Amino acid sequence: MKIQKAVITAAGRNQRHLPLQTLVDREGYPRSALNLLIEEITSTGIQDIGIVIAPGDKPLFQESVDVSNAKLTFIEQESPNGYGHAIHCAKQFVEGEPFLLMVSDHLYVSDSDDSCATQLVKTAEALNSSVSAVQATHEGKLTDFGAVGGSLSSEGKNLYAIDKILEKPTPTQAEQEIMVPGLRTGHYLCFFGMHILTPRIFDILETLLEDKDARPSLSDALEVLAKQEQYLASVIQGRRYDLEDRYGMLTAQMALALDGRNREEVLTQLVGLLAESKPR
């Protein structure tokens, strides 16, 4: 399996401004979040990137991109019919190839030499399988993510065979259905915002979308996928930052800055800020 295409979904009516926000990158230059995301993808060697956007957003998105080594295709989701539908919009672009799917409201910092996306792509290519990146997440955050249950896979380290997927479960449900052996108490494998999927996902989404009233989520489609082909979860050596959180942008910025060349300067400022601040 060779992954040559990536899809970013950025059509969510409430979140589409997030990738356009400006942050200071690791080198100290102001860049849009979208640029950082595209760089995460290109670090894997993928250059062909489709971005699913809301109608009329293309100029805004085009304007905010300054990356030269990527070929961007903008795909409009005509009507807001849910996340599953947004992914399905990229069917033509993907052209029957396995692809990397990324959300547009996350930024990543890797804890290994490879970027987070590279780790995932390498795993999927080696195993010739659909793989979702996951991270052990505290149950207090379950309301924000899809989560998976399964058992350790014999295929390799930090790999799990998925047998259950729940979209934003309550801990009551999570504890009963997706407890994974070996994780810390109260932690579950939650999606990391990036997946390698085979084109079979589009067939599944098509079937799910046949019901006109349905707004299938990606989790709904993945639940079916897991029954039809090998589908694994890979724990990534890295961290994700959800820009949608209350202080998500701030936290992501701090993480980037502390991972970059101006770490010392930022740390000095942080310490000063901590020393000066007074509780109200």
Binding site for another protein (CB under 8 A): 138-143, 170-176, 179, 185-186
- To the nearest whole angstrom, how small is the minimum distance from the Cβ of residue 144 to another protein? 10
- To the nearest whole angstrom, how small is the minimum distance from the Cβ of residue 224 to another protein? 19
Q: Which is nearer to another protein, 80 or 171 (CB)?
A: 171
Long-range contacts at 53-60 (CB < 8 A, ≥ 24 apart): 53/10, 53/11, 53/16, 53/77, 54/11, 54/13, 54/16, 54/80, 57/10, 57/11, 57/16, 60/20
Q: Which is nearer to another protein, 142 or 266 (CB)?
A: 142
Q: Which is nearer to another protein, 174 or 235 (CB)?
A: 174
At residue 223, the 3 state secondary structure works out as helix
- To the nearest whole angstrom, how small is the minimum distance from the Cβ of residue 176 to another protein? 5
Q: Which two tokens stand for residue 118?
A: 């590279």
Q: Return the DSSP state at 184.
A: P
Q: Return the DSSP state at 235.
A: E
Task: State CA 53 to chain mean position distance.
Answer: 16
- To the nearest whole angstrom, how small is the minimum distance from the Cβ of residue 150 to another protein? 15
Q: Which is nearer to another protein, 6 or 174 (CB)?
A: 174
